[in-house]
């Protein structure tokens, strides 16, 4: 288990499995000759994607960021994305020493299937909150967009991952930036989609930022290395430039939603470029 201690907080990576996805889709307009040096592809051009979830603790609170891909995948889908049937989120958390009952908050950076797949569990023919004592936080605009079923990305949204939480009164809708708990906040960072948030924890002069899908892989810290999924690539570049610029200037720990190797990283500016200069696996 990999953790960083950040002032009053401890932040721990929990990987809720891995899957494979098309490398060209992950790296957008970046040529394969460049990205494949960082993330080698298999014979179907797929690269490994981690399902990186983070536990934020300060002794009184326990917050989960992202819930992974879940278990609702048929055999055909699992084969296509190279997914061994992962244990459920609850089992994964317990195996890491985090009992599901102990979480008070879940932050959904956005509602894409591979970030909220563990939000609910099927029990007795119903979908129920997987973390029974937690409130689940998401953005109003993201929920509206998910419900619009836009042809471009409707496939990324599975209502079972959020509608049952709304029905159960467990979904807490935020509009824009704001605190989730003392020292913990979400900030909207348009790019990957309109309302995705990054998560920022600050304590005693130190900062951690979970960049979610604004920067899926540590290899994408160069602002123009955006993903093919991004609905707003120009805003993605602007927001990466702004947020990573602050991360470099203030020596933040950063995390990426899908890097299968890097749990935490610090970024530096060298010879006019940004690169990872310290990382924890
Ligand atoms: Zn996404």
Cα–ligand 1 centroid distance for 204 (angstroms) = 31
Rg of the chain on CA atoms, in Å: 18
CB 198 within 8 A of CB 212: yes
Q: Give the integer Cα–Cα distance in Å for 237 and 275.
A: 16
Instruction: Output the six-digit token pair for 115.
Output: 């970030």
> Counting beta carbons within 10 angstroms of the beta carbon of residue 26, is it exposed (0 to 12), middle (13 to 18) or buried (19 or more)?
buried
Cα–ligand 1 centroid distance for 59 (angstroms) = 30
Residue that is written with structure tokens 């996805």 in the block: 21
Instruction: Output the six-digit token pair for 181.
Output: 């708990």
| pLDDT for residue 67 | 98
Q: Give the integer Cα–Cα distance in Å for 48 and 261.
A: 10
Cα–ligand 1 centroid distance for 226 (angstroms) = 12
Residue 160 DSSP label = G
Cα–ligand 1 centroid distance for 154 (angstroms) = 12
Q: Which residues of the chain have pLDDT under 70?
A: none
Cα–ligand 1 centroid distance for 271 (angstroms) = 31
If residue 239 lies in a helix (H) or strand (E), which one and from where to where? helix 233-250
* H-assigned helices in 57-161: 75-80, 89-95, 113-116, 140-148
Residue that is written with structure tokens 């990382």 in the block: 279
Cα–ligand 1 centroid distance for 115 (angstroms) = 7
* Predicted TM-score (pTM) of this structure: 0.97
């Amino acid at each position: 288990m990999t953790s960083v201690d950040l002032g009053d907080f401890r932040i721990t990576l929990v990987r809720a499995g891995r899957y494979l996805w098309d490398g060209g889709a992950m790296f957008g307009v970046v040529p394969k000759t460049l990205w494949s040096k960082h993330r080698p592809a298999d014979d179907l051009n797929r690269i490994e994607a981690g399902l990186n979830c983070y536990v934020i603790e300060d002794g009184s609170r326990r917050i989960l960021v992202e819930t992974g891909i879940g278990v609702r995948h048929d055999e055909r889908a699992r084969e296509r994305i190279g997914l061994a049937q992962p244990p459920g989120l609850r089992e994964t958390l317990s195996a890491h020493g985090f009992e599901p009952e102990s979480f008070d908050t879940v932050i959904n950076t956005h509602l894409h299937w591979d970030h909220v797949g563990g939000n609910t569990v099927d029990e007795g023919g119903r979908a129920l909150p997987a973390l029974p004592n937690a409130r689940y936080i998401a953005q109003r605009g993201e929920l509206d967009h998910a419900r619009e079923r836009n042809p471009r990305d409707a496939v990324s949204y599975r209502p079972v991952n959020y509608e049952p939480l709304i029905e159960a009164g467990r979904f807490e809708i935020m509009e824009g930036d704001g605190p989730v708990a003392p020292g913990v906040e979400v900030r909207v960072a348009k790019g990957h989609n309109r309302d995705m948030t990054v998560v920022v924890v600050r304590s005693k002069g130190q900062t951690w930022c979970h960049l979610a899908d604004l920067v899926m892989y540590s290899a994408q810290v160069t602002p123009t290395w955006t993903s093919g999924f991004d609905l707003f690539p120009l805003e993605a570049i602007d927001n990466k430039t702004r947020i990573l610029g602050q991360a470099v200037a203030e020596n933040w720990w950063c995390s990426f939603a899908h890097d299968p190797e890097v749990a935490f990283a610090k970024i530096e500016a060298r010879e006019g470029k940004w690169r990872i200069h310290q990382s924890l696996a």
